[in-house]
């Protein structure tokens, strides 16, 4: 909270932030009430989730999406919050933001913090330059950004909140998953046919570097023959680098520059 204030924001806490119920941060009703209290508060312009964890999917069929649509705000989070980001985008068309949360922001590197400030305060989306990226398959492409936590993306499949993958630039990340589970999730997505028309694939953090390279290998086995760029080591997810990305916004990938730009009419 102090870092947010130091960065020029005026943070306030949602009601019920200290609630606990077994593995959840309170009952579904209490968590939804806290979210909607902030959403209805006209003095609040953005909602940054405190942390990930469990239970976002339990809220998806209870959210009053009409209220969300009529009172648009910026929503920021990642990990379990992937479900909430996509539900709001699919049901309302709202651009949501995959990025740092309150408990993770202070542990990020300076480029991630600066990207967070630029993305949340600029009237236009600033360009992103990622020199640390490993270009596994080159090329340029354009498509709407979508993605997030790999496990949550799989769990959203077959629900009304499933992301739109056609002509999309997809980014994925995960944490605490052994390689065989990651392999199973990736294979499931390939077999579903949902990724057949992707425009790009960005692979974020997946744990230790050795495991990340195994993830790259499996991704290339599954999609290396398709006609879109694939990047590894993207600064996304559970790590010291986690750049904020807008879900639903068109983006242009340039593999030679390792850049993401956002075109405007």
| 222-259 per-residue burial string, b: 16 or more CB within 10 A, e: under 16 | bbeeeebbbbbbbbbbbbebbbbbbbbbbbbbbbeebb
Same domain, 253 and 149: yes
Same domain, 152 and 74: no
Q: Which of 104, 112, 141, 173 is catalytic?
A: 173
Q: Which of 141, 238, 241, 255 is catalytic?
A: 238
Predicted pLDDT of residue 22: 67
Kind and range of the H or E element at 82?
helix 82-92
Same domain, 136 and 224: yes
Same domain, 173 and 257: yes
Predicted pLDDT of residue 139: 96
Taking the C-alpha atoms of residue 230 and residue 87, their distance in angstroms, rounded to an integer, is 26
Predicted pLDDT of residue 21: 58
Looking at 87, 121, 155, the residue that finishes a domain is: 121
Domain of residue 90 covers 2-121
Predicted pLDDT of residue 16: 65
Let me know if 79 is a catalytic residue: yes
Predicted pLDDT of residue 85: 97
Looking at 83, 106, 121, the residue that finishes a domain is: 121
Same domain, 65 and 103: yes
> What are the DSSP E strand ranges found in the chain?
46-48, 74-77, 96-98, 128-129, 134-137, 140-149, 168-173, 200-203, 230-232, 245-247, 250-254, 259-261
85 three-state secondary structure: helix
Tokens standing for residue 10: 């005026």
Residue 102 main-chain phi, psi, to 5 deg:
-55, -45
**Dihedral of alpha carbons 160, 166, 171, 176, sign:** positive
pLDDT in tens, 12-21: 877 666 666 5
191 three-state secondary structure: helix
pLDDT in tens, 89-125: 999 999 999 999 888 888 889 999 998 888 888 888 8
143 three-state secondary structure: strand
How many angstroms separate the Cα of 142 from the Cα of each of 180, 253, 259, 260?
31, 6, 12, 9
Write out the DSSP string of 203-253.
E---SSHHHHHHHHHHHHHHHTTSSS-EEES-S-SSSS----EEET-EEEE
Same domain, 53 and 93: yes
CATH number of the domain within which 173 lies: 3.50.30.60
Q: Which of 79, 141, 241, 255 is catalytic?
A: 79
Same domain, 132 and 257: yes
Tokens standing for residue 44: 């609040």
Same domain, 133 and 244: yes
Q: Are 58 and 28 in contact (CB under 8 A)?
A: yes
Same domain, 80 and 159: no
Same domain, 170 and 255: yes
73 three-state secondary structure: coil
Tally of domains in the chain = 2
Split the chain (265 residues) into runs of 10 and give each run's mean pLDDT. Answer: 75 70 70 87 88 82 94 93 97 96 87 89 89 97 98 96 96 95 96 93 89 95 95 96 96 97 81
């Amino acid at each position: 909270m102090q870092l947010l204030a130091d960065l020029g924001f005026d943070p306030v806490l949602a009601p019920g932030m200290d609630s606990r119920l077994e593995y959840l941060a309170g009952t579904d009703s209490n968590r939804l009430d806290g979210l909607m209290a902030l959403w209805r508060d006209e003095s609040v312009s953005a909602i940054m989730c405190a942390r990930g964890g469990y239970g976002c999917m339990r809220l998806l069929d209870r959210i009053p999406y009409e209220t969300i649509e009529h009172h648009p705000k910026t929503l920021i989070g990642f990990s379990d919050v992937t479900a909430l980001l996509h539900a709001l985008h699919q049901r309302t068309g709202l651009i949501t933001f995959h990025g740092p949360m309150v408990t993770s922001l202070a542990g990020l590197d300076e480029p991630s913090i600066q990207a967070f400030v630029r993305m949340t305060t600029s009237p236009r989306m600033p360009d992103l330059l990622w020199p640390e990226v490993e270009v596994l398959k080159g090329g340029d492409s354009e498509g709407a950004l979508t993605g997030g936590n790999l496990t949550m993306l799989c769990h959203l499949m077959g629900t009304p909140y499933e992301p739109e993958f056609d002509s999309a630039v997809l980014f994925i990340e995960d944490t605490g998953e052994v390689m065989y589970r990651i392999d199973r999730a990736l294979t499931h997505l390939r077999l579903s046919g949902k990724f057949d028309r992707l425009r790009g694939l960005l692979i974020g953090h997946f744990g230790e570097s050795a495991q990340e390279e195994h993830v790259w290998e499996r991704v290339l086995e599954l999609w290396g023959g398709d006609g879109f760029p694939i990047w590894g080591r993207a600064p996304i997810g559970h790590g010291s680098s986690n750049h904020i990305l807008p879900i639903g916004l068109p983006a242009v990938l340039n593999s030679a520059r390792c850049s993401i730009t956002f075109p405007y009419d």
